[in-house]
Chains A and B, each alone.
Chain A
Amino acid sequence: AQKVTQAQTEISVVEKEDVTLDCVYETRDTTYYLFWYKQPPSGELVFLIRRNSFDEQNEISGRYSWNFQKSTSSFNFTITASQVVDSAVYFCALHSGIGFQKLVFGTGTRLLVSP
């Protein structure tokens, strides 16, 4: 069975602090994809990144970076120098195997960035 665990329910930081959102996944498949989505207070779901199981390179996009470690089944997300606009719920999701994408979502981490 596939499972995604986001143990941090809510994180509060002050602007300009760095923050890391944890994601731990479980799957028996060797081929899988991991995603991060952002849900701002307006409610829509915004795609942030996709990583496949054969690519363990970390990625940086502006203030965002992702650390994928197969050895610990983790795909953590770090925001550097957080801003108020980063306040949102962040979901980690897993698509395991091939064929139709049935995403398994974590329960989300609510990030509150205060000025």
Chain B
Amino acid sequence: NAGVTQTPKFQVLKTGQSMTLQCAQDMNHEYMSWYRQDPGMGLRLIHYSVGAGITDQGEVPNGYNVSRSTTEDFPLRLLSAAPSQTSVYFCASTGTGSSPLHFGNGTRLTVT
């Protein structure tokens, strides 16, 4: 059982480039979310989804897009990367609103 799988693990982008961070879960969880982790700031919610076809913004959504075409996948798109988006990104899923989140192993993104 793979749980939550994120790819890639590391990525370096130049300012203005676009890319998609992939996230897939095999636990049939309805709820999925993306967080970013920055030094001294903990984790902050970027976007989330309560089911296929339904997404919403979290605390820090600017510069990111998401879609949820299937229950399993929840990709995060950076449309035009900026140095401020240098961070570690975590995807998470859960089956109910209050159950613990299952996190992926993270993607370390550097924007130069």
Contacts and interface: CB of A to CB of B under 8 A. Distances in A.
Contact of A100 (B35, B40, B48): B48
Given A43-B88, A43-B106, A91-B42, A103 B48 contact: no
B106 A44 contact: yes
Interface stretch (A45-53, A59-67, A68-76, A78-86): A45-53
Interface stretch (B13-21, B61-69, B92-100): B92-100
A93 B45 CA distance: 12
Interface residues of B, number: 26
A42 B4 CA distance: 16
B41 A101 contact: no
Contact of A105 (B31, B33, B44, B94): B44
Query: Number of contact residues on A: which range applies?
Result: 20 to 34
Contacts of A45: 90, 101, 103, 106
Top 4 A-B residue pairs of the complex, sorted by shortest distance between their CB atoms:
A105-B42, A45-B103, A47-B100, A105-B43
Interface of B: 31, 33, 35, 40-45, 48, 50, 56, 58-59, 88, 90, 94, 97-103, 105-106
